[in-house]
Each structure stands twice: as structure tokens, then as C-alpha cells.
Amino acid sequence: MAKKIVSDLKVNGKKVLIRVDFNVPMKNGVITDDTRVKAALPTIKYVIDNGGKAIVFSHLGRVKSAEDIAKNDIAPVAVRLEELIGKKVTFVNATKGKELEDAIANMKNGEIVMFQNTRYEDFDVAANKEVKKESKNDAELGKYWASLGDVFVNDAFGTAHRAAASNVGIASNVSETAAGYLLEKEIKFIGGAVDNPVRPYVAILGGSKVSDKIGVIEALLDKADKVLVGGAMMFTFLKALGYDVKASRCEEQEFVDLAANLLKKANGKIVLPVDAVVNKAFEDVPGTAKAIKDFADGDMGLDIGPKTLEVFAKELAGAKTVVWNGPMGVFEMKNYAAGTIGVCELLAKLTAEGASTIIGGGDSAAAAEQLGYASKVSHISTGGGASLEYLEGKTLPGVACVDEK
């Protein structure tokens, strides 16, 4: 069954609780990347343009101390939302209580109220201790927040893999729930890749550790036609095949053994690099492309090599669904970004040819954004951990709590 979305709701005159993901990077109270705020605009605009009263809220960072409360004040995000949406946003510096209740009671149709960081409810200032009421889905807190509105819209995929008071807690206590447009896209693209991918279906995995992605690798071996592996995790697989990876980052023997078992189970589905760009030190100076078998003492692989990109291009030719999670090398260093850029270019070409290309959040999403390829793929997920769990085929509480149509 398809999920109900915000446009299925009759919002006119209703108080619409909208859980967004405004967990944006900030430095000294200044937002350094407002992508997540922009991503929430279509849902908020739909509500206010159709006469709803938009009550917007999000977490920001982790709140485990009084210092975290000062550091993770979400007020600057409300200012940025007002600038982007072109309409007044009334910010309430509270997560519950009379000030918040009065602000909501006084709302007119088409207005926006945003309240303070939901994770403030994770720390009891008076007792000076962590209580995790938001993060652990405190029943009373979810019930209280639900009482502030008439209907609930979840548009925060980044927290969908966790049951919290601000998603599952609210949904359990309101008469009607729906997905926002951003969450709808995640369900369509990542959920589609899991449930009914158009084939050939190729997955690309990078990043540093096999141990971080055991579940998703196993799930993809069942679902995908090929799994291309890059990033530092490739060296754990290569060591499992008997290669001496020298000074390259590699996990402990138990994960080398696990990689060996995955390769056996894969029966040829896993495609590994044939070369890498190496250096003797972890620094941004030009490296040397070498075949894996030719690594010398002290060589540290920091990116996939040009011949590997050629192999990957052949494996991706004609693919109709591609999911990518994890960069191919240390893309933050310009001398070791070529592999990640190369994968971006391959995905852009496939997108132009009509393939569904999905970047599963995290560092690979950051790489695509930084390298200028965000608009050249079908979808970039807004949730790293959530997208990985979704790709594993796990039920995400923040998706499950949304009503079916």
C-alpha cells in the first residue's frame, strides 16, 4: 500500500504538526549549509498555501549537557526559514508550556510557528542530567506534542530509523498522519530500489569499514545484480583474497574473514578494484596509481585508480537502477577525489540515459553536493543511517508510523 502524503490531507483551518529535519551544520551560530531547510520548503508551503497552520519543529545535534543546550539553539534556523520561505516565522524558545500553547492558539490560517530544538527534552536542566525523553520516545512527551495539533506530517527522513517522541510518539496520538514531499521522495526512490528495482540493478559501496555495512552488503547481494566496492573498505575485501595491502587501512582479522565469507556468498556479484592511487603518507600531495598486486612497503591506498573506474564503467553500462553509498577515496583531498568524481560522472551519464540513480546520504551525498553533481542524479537521500537501514530492507519507524492511503 502507498503512504498518505501531505496533499492527501485537508489542511484548511487545521493545526498541522510538521516534523522536519533541520539538523543543519552550524559554526558559531551561523548555518554553513542550508540544504535541509530548502528541502523542507515544498511541504511547508503546501500547508500554508492551502490555509493550514504550520507548526514546524526539528532536532539539532545531540543534547547531553547544559553546554549542548547553548550550542544547539535552533533559533538561527527559524531566521533562515523565514528568509527562504518569504513569510514571517514566529519562533518560540520553548519545547512545551504556556508560551508555546498560546502562540499556537493565536495562529491564523497560513501562518508558521517554529519551536525550539526537540532534543532539549533529552536533558533536564534543573536536575543537570540526561533524560532522553525525545530520543527514547517518552509516551507523555509524544502525547503532549500531539495535543498541539490536529494532524501530523512527517518529513524528516534523517530520523526515520529511530522511534522518537517527535515522530512515532506524535503519530500514535493523532487521528491522521501523512508523509511530507521529502519523505515521499525517499519512499519512492530508496523504497523502490529495495522493493521493486528496475534491472539491471547495480549498487556502489564505499567508505571506510565493512563492519559498518554488513547488513546492507548482505541485503544487496540478495537484491542487486552487481555490487561495486571502493573506498577504504575495499582493502578488507582485497586482503581476504590474499593481497598484501601494505599500509592501506584495513580492518581486524574477524572482518577480513567476514569479507571472505561475503565474497563466497556473492558468487561473482562483488566487483573489487584492480588498482588504487597510493601515497606513503596521509596528506594531500600527488599519489601514484598502482595495480593492487604491485603495492610496495609503506604504500597507502587513498583512492580507487583509473583502471578500476574503467571496470566500474563497464559494469554500470546499461544499468537501470543504481544506488551509491560511500565515497571511493579521500575525496576531501583534491589529489584523491578522482575516483569519487568519476563515479559522479558515471551516474550523471546514466541519469541522462533514463536510469534511476540514488545517492544514499552521508559522505557520498556530501561529495556529490561539493563536487557539483547534486542536480545530475535522480535522488540524493537526506539520511545517512536511515538510507542504509532502508536499503537493508528494515522497517523504519518514522515511515511505518505514517498512515496508508
CATH number at residue 170: 3.40.50.1260
pLDDT computed for residue 358 by the predictor = 96
Same domain for 384 and 312: yes
Residues 61, 31 share a domain: yes
Residues with catalytic roles:
36, 209, 362, 385
Nearest Cα residue to 230 out of 138, 362, 340: 340
Q: Do 338 and 374 belong to one domain? A: yes
pLDDT given at position 1? 57
Residues 325 and 374 reside in one and the same domain: yes
Domain assignment of residue 401, yes or no = no
Given a contact cutoff of 8 angstroms between Cβ atoms, the answer to whether 402 and 5 are in contact is no
21 and 165 inside one domain: yes
Q: Tell me if the bond preceding 200 is cis, omega within 30° of 0.
A: yes
Burial of residue 357 (number of CB atoms within 10 Å: 0-12, 13-18, 19+): buried
221 and 106 share one domain: no
338-352 and 362-370 helices, crossing angle to 10°: 80
Do 158 and 18 share a structural domain? yes
The C-alpha R_g of the chain, in whole angstroms, comes to 23
Given a contact cutoff of 8 angstroms between Cβ atoms, the answer to whether 1 and 403 are in contact is no
Per-residue pLDDT of the chain (405 residues; tens, 9 = 90+): 599 999 999 999 999 999 999 999 998 889 998 989 999 999 999 999 999 999 999 999 999 999 999 999 999 999 999 999 999 999 999 999 999 999 999 999 999 999 999 999 999 999 999 999 999 999 999 999 999 999 999 999 999 999 999 999 999 999 999 999 999 999 999 999 988 999 999 999 998 889 989 999 999 999 999 999 999 999 999 999 999 999 999 999 999 999 999 999 999 999 999 999 999 999 999 999 999 999 999 999 999 999 999 999 999 999 999 999 999 999 999 999 999 999 999 999 999 999 999 998 778 888 898 889 999 999 999 888 899 899 989 999 999 999 999
Domains identified in the chain, total number: 2
Are 347 and 384 in contact, with CB atoms under 8 Å apart?
A: no
346 and 259 co-located in one domain: yes
Question: Where a domain ends, among 147, 182, 217?
Answer: 182
Joined together, the cell numbers standing for residue 247 give 599500509
What CA–CA distance (Å, rounded) separates 228 from 350? 16
User: In this predicted structure, what is the pLDDT of residue 154?
Assistant: 98
Please report whether residue 178 resides in a domain: yes
All three cell numbers of 30, joined, read: 551561523
Q: Express each pLDDT in 297-334 by its tens digit.
A: 999 999 999 999 999 999 999 999 999 999 999 999 99
| CB proximity list for 133: less than 8 A, separation 6 or greater | 121, 122, 141, 165
pTM of the model: 0.90
- Burial class of residue 270 (count of CB atoms within 10 Å of its CB; 0-12, 13-18, 19+): buried
Please give the Cα distance from 26 to 196 (Å, whole number).
Answer: 38
**Domain match, 229 and 157 both:** no
- In angstroms, the CA 14 to CA 150 distance is 6
Q: 327: which 3 cell numbers?
A: 565515497
Q: Are residues 275 and 235 located together in one domain of the fold?
A: yes
Within a domain: 402: no
37 within 8 A of 22, measured Cβ to Cβ: yes
204: left (phi over 0), alpha (psi -120 to 50) or beta: beta
Q: Which domain holds residue 234?
A: 197-391
Residue 258 lies in a domain: yes
Q: Is residue 386 part of a domain?
A: yes
Beta bridge partners of 288: 278
Same domain, 230 and 318: yes
Single residue among 182, 213, 230 that ends a domain in this structure: 182
First vs last Cα of the chain: how many Å apart?
7
Q: Is residue 346 part of a domain?
A: yes
Instruction: Please tell me whether residues 160 and 236 are part of one structural domain.
Output: no
Decide which of 182, 216, 243 is a domain's last residue: 182
At 55 the pLDDT is: 99
Query: Is residue 398 assigned to a domain?
Result: no
